Amino acid sequence: MLADALPLVTPFSLYIVPTVRCNFRCNYCAQSLDRDVLAKKYPHMVSDNGFITMELFRKVLVQAKSFPSRFKMVSIFGQGEPLLHPDLPEMVAEVRDAGIAERIEFITNGSLLTPDLSRRLIDAGLTNIRVSLQGLNSKKYHEICGVELDFEKIKENIAYYYAYGREKDARIFVKIMDVALEENEEEMFYSLFDSISDRMYIERVKPVYDGIKYEEALSNITMDRYGVLHTPRKVCPLPFYMLNVWPDGDVSPCDAIYKPYILGNCNSTTLLEMWRSGGFRSFLAQNLRYGKNSIPICTPCCAPDDVSHPADVLDDDAKRILPIFDVNFR
C-alpha cells in the first residue's frame, strides 16, 4: 500500500520527456487539437523546439543519482512520440550506465520502430517498450490518427523487436485503444500479437485532455482505462511517487499534460532539492487535505480515476498521513 510507504525518500518513477512533438494526431489525444488551441491550453506543448538536449538530459541523470535509492522505473517519454528524438538509444544507454533504474521503458506509437532502431534500443538496455496500436489495418490508422502507414510493416517491426528482445531479456507490450477496434476484432487483435509480444491488452479512451470532446464526462469517472470499476477518488496519488522532467527542464509532480505545480527547473535546482522542498510538501498537503479538485489546474484532470492503481489510492488514509506533509499541521 502506498499510504504505508510514505513519505518516499526516492520517488518510484522518474519520467524524462524527450519530446512534446508527435507525428500522429490521434483523435482522442491533445495532439489532435488545433495548434492555436493547444498553445492556449497547454503552452508548454508548443514552446521552444520541444526536444530535450543531451546536455540537459545528462544534468538530470547526474541529479537523479543523488537520491538514496534507485528508481523502480525511469520512463523516457511523455506527451509526444519518443522515437522522434534522434538520441533516444543514447539516452537509454546513459540511464542504464548511471545505474539509477530497475526498469527503463517508454511508450511509443511504434511507427518509427525499424529493426535497426530496435537493436540499438535493446542493446542500450531498454527493458520494456509499450506499443500503442491505433487499429488493425491502415484504414483505421488513417481514421484515428490521420496518418498513412502500412499496418503490416508495424506488425513486422513488432515481431522483429520481440524476437531480438527475447535473446536479451527485453520485453514488448502491445496495447490497442477500444475505439481502434471494430466489433468482433478483439479476438483478431489477440491472435495477431499473441506470438510476437510479451503482453497484450485493450485500453479504454478516457477524458484525459481538457479541450477534446469525449463521450464520457470529465468528472467522476468510475472505471479506469484498464476496465477496473471504483468509486471516484478525491486525492491524487501520482505526485506522491513520481517526478516528471519536461524538455525545458521544468519539473512537475506527475506525467499528466497539466502542470499543476512546478517544483523547479533542473537548470537551476536539483531534483532532490525539489523533492524535499517545503513548497512541494504544501502542494501534497493541500491535495491530501482538500482533494485534488482544490488545485485549479488539477480540476479537469482524470488521472486519479483513470491510471491510479487501487493499492495507491490514498483517500481513506489522507487524514492519517497529512501530518507527514503539512508543515503547519498541529
Neighbours of 64 (CB within 10 A): 25
* Residue 135 Cβ vs ligand SAM, minimum distance, rounded to whole Å: 12
Q: Which does 260 bind (CB under 5 to 8 A by kind): ligand SF4, ligand SAM, none?
A: ligand SF4
- Out of 33, 205, 284, 313, the residue judged to bind ligand SAM by CB under 6 A: 205
Residues in contact with ligand SF4 by CB under 6 A are 22, 24-26, 29, 31, 80-81, 109, 145, 236, 238-239, 253-254, 256, 258, 260, 292, 298, 301, 303-304
CB 61, CB 100: distance < 8 Å: yes
Task: Rule CB under 6 A: say whether 206 interacts with ligand SAM.
Answer: yes
- The minimum distance between CB 276 and ligand SAM, in angstroms, equals 29
Rounded distance, CA 93 to CA 102, Å? 13
Residue type, 163: A
Q: With CB cut-offs between 5 and 8 Å by kind, which of ligand SF4, ligand SAM, none does residue 89 bind?
A: none
Q: Does 33 bind ligand SAM (CB under 6 A)?
A: no
Distance in Å from the first CA to the final CA of the chain: 25
Find the binder of ligand SAM among 10, 19, 108, 157 (CB under 6 A).
108
**19 is a site residue for ligand SAM (CB under 6 A):** no
- Determine which residue in the list 17, 126, 200, 208 makes contact with ligand SAM, applying CB under 6 A: 208
Helix (H, G, I), strand (E, B) or coil at 298: helix
To ligand SAM, the closest distance from the beta carbon of 307 in angstroms equals 9
Query: What is the rounded CA–CA span in Å between residue 66 and residue 83?
Result: 28
The option from ligand SF4, ligand SAM, none interacting with 206 (CB < 5 to 8 A, set by class) reads ligand SAM
Q: What's phi and psi for 130, nearest 5 deg?
A: -115, 125
Residue 3's identity, in one-letter code, is A
Q: How far apart are CA 80 and CA 29, in angstroms?
A: 10
Whose grid coordinates read 517491426? 157
Q: How far is the CB of 132 from ligand SAM (least distance, A)?
A: 3
Peptide bond into 7 cis (omega under 30): yes
Question: Which residues, in sequence order, are CB contacts of 192 under 8 Å at separation 6+?
Answer: 136, 155
Among 67, 77, 161, 246, binds ligand SAM (CB under 6 A): 77
CA 15 to chain centre: 7
**Residue 111 interacts with ligand SAM (CB under 6 A)?**
no
180-216 burial, b for 16+ CB within 10 Å, e for fewer? bbeeebeeebeebbeebbeebebbebbbbbbebeeee
Q: Where are the alpha helices (DSSP H) in 65-149?
A: 88-98, 115-124, 138-145
Is 171 or 175 the residue whose CB approaches ligand SF4 more closely?
175
Q: Which of 14, 29, 256, 263 binds ligand SAM (CB under 6 A)?
A: 29
Is 241 one of the binding residues for ligand SAM (CB under 6 A)? Answer: no
**Which among 6-14, 64-72, 203-211, 281-289 is the span making contact with ligand SAM, rule CB under 6 A?**
203-211
Minimum distance from CB of 297 to ligand SF4 (Å)? Answer: 6
Contacting positions for ligand SAM (CB under 6 A): 22, 28-29, 77, 79, 81, 107-109, 132, 177, 203, 205-206, 208, 225
